[in-house]
Amino acid sequence: MSLVVTISKPLLNLAIQRVQGAITERSLAHIGLKSEAGQIHITAADRMLAVFSTFPADVKGEGVVFLPAKIFSDVVRELPDGNVLLETVDQQLRITAGERSEFTMKIPLVDEAVWRDPPSFDSSNTADLPAGKLVYMIEQVQFCVSQDSPRNYGTVGYLHRPAKGGIRLVGSDGFRLSYCEVELPLPDEFLANGVCLSKKALGEVVRLGSEGFDRIRLSISQDQTTLLVAVPDYQVFVRLSAVKYPKYAGVIPDNKNPKVLVSRSQIQHVAKRVLLAADKSRALQLSFSDSSLTLSSRTMGSSESKETVRLDEFFGPKCDMVVNGKFLAEIFSTTPSDKVTLQFKDGEDPIVVVPREEPTDCKSKHILVPIRETRTP
């Protein structure tokens, strides 16, 4: 029987949004539709991930079709309001939409594709996690993960269980390191070995978790090659990276270092102004005194800028250090806490940024290595 399905435009649009992460080469990728028993299943896959999603629909004919991803996605986004009728006619999918069925379009089918149902995981390596905290954890770290990093570990985030329990995600590109952990009970078998997730995989988890679900199920295949991220009627299968993450604990400075309490939003705005005078290195000098912090930058030419702000709390000696202003701005843009503490020993050792206010049971840290060659404006 040919596919004949009626589905609302908002649901069809959501379905297309969900599979976009699996459409790497838009000109070559395709989207699969399968209708049966009052439901339509929609899927797309590439070499790194596969997405399966199910929605209620009025099914008059059961069938399977595959469509060119680019044109189908573009059409769905531009459809008029109202229900959408999808039906196969010869070797095409006819789309009819609008309150009075005023829009019609035919799209050629992809012939060589074969429908594959989602794989089943026979694994005890599974945990149900609070969606909001999982998304928060990723958001505090993913800016440190770069697809173009020259270091292989810089292209992934490391998800594992720290010694004291809970779950932790770490990211580092060699010049900075961020981690966030969530304290919560976990099954004994879950995440016994840490796994590495690409930036793309992290983005898919955030996409799924941002839809308003209360909890997300994470499952790891027995061969440690695939991560399943699932909520009701929505599954994302992610190929795990083979990168072996280095031991990172040794680069985290001692918590006993002196602390400075600053207003994140204030420093963020000041740094943005001061960095207008910086060159491509984005070097930003931080000069701490008993009650103030002066931010300054300059170019090799004549441009220079500085601004001084008062400190809420300062415990430690006077200190000058130079950091990458872009990296510092990314940290301040990531954390929602308005108050942050800066911990450092001197101008040569890493500076640690710790948010004061975070969601319950969530703790994050950002470590930034200073630029060694300081230059005083």
Position 335 pLDDT exceeds 50? yes
Tokens of 259: 């602390």
- Residue 376: what pLDDT? 43
- Residue 345: what pLDDT? 81
pLDDT tens-place string over residues 184-206: 999 988 998 899 999 999 999 99
- Residue 148: what pLDDT? 80
Position 375 pLDDT exceeds 50? no
Q: What DSSP element (H or E) covers 77?
A: helix 69-78
- Residue 139: what pLDDT? 95
pLDDT tens-place string over residues 270-285: 999 999 888 877 899 9
pLDDT tens-place string over residues 7-33: 999 999 999 999 998 887 765 689 999
- What is the Cα–Cα distance from 207 to 53, expressed in whole angstroms? 13
138 inside domain: yes
135 and 174 housed in the same domain: yes
What is the average per-residue pLDDT within 134-155? 91
21 and 90 housed in the same domain: yes
265 and 246 housed in the same domain: no
| Mean pLDDT computed over every residue of the chain | 90
* N- to C-terminal Cα separation, the chain: 76
- Residue 300: what pLDDT? 61
Lowest mean pLDDT among 127-131, 159-163, 177-181, 299-303: 299-303
130 and 238 housed in the same domain: yes
261 inside domain: yes
96 and 193 housed in the same domain: no
Indicate the pLDDT class of residue 299, thresholds 50, 70 and 90: confident
Task: Write 296-299 long-range contacts (CB < 8 A, 24+).
Answer: 296/377, 297/325, 297/377, 298/375, 298/377
Position 140 pLDDT exceeds 90? yes
Position 309 pLDDT exceeds 80? yes
In three-state secondary structure terms, 112 is coil
Q: What is the count of structural domains for the chain? A: 3
Position 89 pLDDT exceeds 90? yes
The parent domain of residue 143 ranges over: 126-250
375 inside domain: no
Starting at the earlier edge strand, list the strands of the sheet with 63-68.
63-68, 30-36, 39-45, 49-56, 234-239, 226-231, 215-220, 126-130
- Residue 315: what pLDDT? 67
78 inside domain: yes
Choosing from 75, 108, 141, the residue where a domain stops is 108
Residue with tokens 């969601």, as numbered in its chain: 359
- What is the Cα–Cα distance from 309 to 314, expressed in whole angstroms? 12
Position 73 pLDDT exceeds 90? yes
90 and 131 housed in the same domain: no
Choosing from 199, 230, 250, the residue where a domain stops is 250
- Residue 377: what pLDDT? 41
The enclosing domain of 264 has a CATH number of 3.10.150.10
229 and 270 housed in the same domain: no
- What is the Cα–Cα distance from 81 to 97, expressed in whole angstroms? 8
225 and 178 housed in the same domain: yes
pLDDT tens-place string over residues 217-264: 999 998 889 999 999 999 999 999 989 999 998 888 876 677 888 899
71 and 143 housed in the same domain: no
| Cβ 317 vs Cβ 337: under 8 Å | no
373 inside domain: no
294 and 363 housed in the same domain: yes
23 and 91 housed in the same domain: yes
Q: What is the pTM of this model?
A: 0.89
115 inside domain: no
44 and 77 housed in the same domain: yes
113 inside domain: no
Choosing from 200, 223, 250, the residue where a domain stops is 250
145 inside domain: yes
